[in-house]
Amino acid sequence: MTRSPTEVERASGVSRRQLWLGLILPTAAWAGHGMLGTLVALLSCKQFGIAERSAPAFTRPILFGLSLVALGVVVFSVVSSLRILRRITGSSQPVGQQGHQREEFMAMAAVFFSVTFAFGIALNAVPVLVLANVCEGTR
């Protein structure tokens, strides 16, 4: 028996805003991390690092800090999306019918978004840790 969207929302206590947030938050964290990281690196390297061709001392910590903040956001998103998914589905879902209700579908997508963007942000953070000079190549 399929339930209407409002019935599902009422039963689970999950609002539409929460469902959207699960999709938007990790995406914004990943995009923001990439853009801010690039901007910080470009600005600080051009302003301070170009003359001696070495990175200013604060560039790497700022970039690393940005990665930590972004990772924190997506980890929060992973946890909250999983909670929301559990609240919506309960434990009685028949196998093969996952994500059939729109709310459950959005919650599952939110888990997927959060996990993959956590992976993406972690990958982005690796070069900051391993590059000898984060300003190398700045012109």
Partner 1 sequence: VPAPGPRTRARLTHLWETPEDLRGWLGTVDHKKLGKRYLMTAFAFLLVGGIEAVLIRLQLARADQTLFTAEQYNQIFTLHGVTMIFWYAQPILTGFGVYLIPLMIGARDLAYPRLNAFGYWTFLLSGLFLYASPFLGQSPHAGWFAYVPYSTGKFSPGLGLDFYALSLIFLTISTTSGAVNFIVTILRHRAPGMAISKMPLFMYSSLTVSVSVIFSLPPLTAACTFLLLDRQWSFRFYDTLYGGSTVLWQHLFWFFGHPWVYIIFLPATGMISMLLPVFARRPIVGYPWVAAATVLTGVVGFAVWVHHMFAVGITHLGMSFFSAASMTISVFTAVQVFSWVATLWKGRLVLTSSMLFALGFLALLVVGGLNGIVTAVIPVDWQLHDTHFVVAHLHYVLVGANVFPVFAGFYFWLPKVTGRLMNERLGKLSFWAMFIGFNLTFFPMHILGALGMPRRIFTYSQSQGWETLNLVASVGAGVLTLGVLLSVINFLWSVKKGARAGENPWNADGLEWSASSPPEPYGSVHLPAVQTRYPLWDDHDEEHDPRHERILDGGRYTFTTSALDARPWAIAEMPAASLAPVVGALVLTAVFAGLLAKNLWVAGGALLLALATNAYWAWPKVRKVPEPPLEPEHHEEDKRNPLVTELDPGRGKWGMGCLIATEAMLFVALFFAYFYLGPFPTEKAPKLHLVLPMLGVLLLSSGVLHYGERQVKKHADRRARAALAVTLLLGLVFVALQVVEFRNKLQELTPQMNAYGSIIYTITSFHAAHLLVGLLMLGFVLVLPRLHAAEKPPHHPYKSAALYWHFVDVVWVFIVTFLYILPNLHK
At a CB cut-off of 8 Å and minimum separation 6, what does 18 contact?
80, 84
Q: How far is the CB of 5 from partner 1 (least distance, A)?
A: 5
C-alpha triplet 100, 113, 79: angle, nearest 5°: 90
Instruction: Annotate each residue in 60-89 with x if it binds partner 1 (CB under 8 A) or - if it does not, as one string.
Output: ---x--------------------------
Q: How far is the CB of 72 from partner 1 (least distance, A)?
A: 19
Q: How far is the CB of 31 from partner 1 (least distance, A)?
A: 7
Judge whether 26 and 113 are in contact, CB under 8 Å. yes
Judge whether 32 and 66 are in contact, CB under 8 Å. no
Picking from 25, 5, 3, 1, the residue whose alpha carbon sits closest to that of residue 16 is 5
The site for partner 1 (CB under 8 A) is made up of 2, 5, 27, 31, 34, 37-38, 41-42, 45, 63, 96, 98-102, 104-106, 108-109, 112-113, 116, 119-120, 123-124, 126-128, 131, 133-139
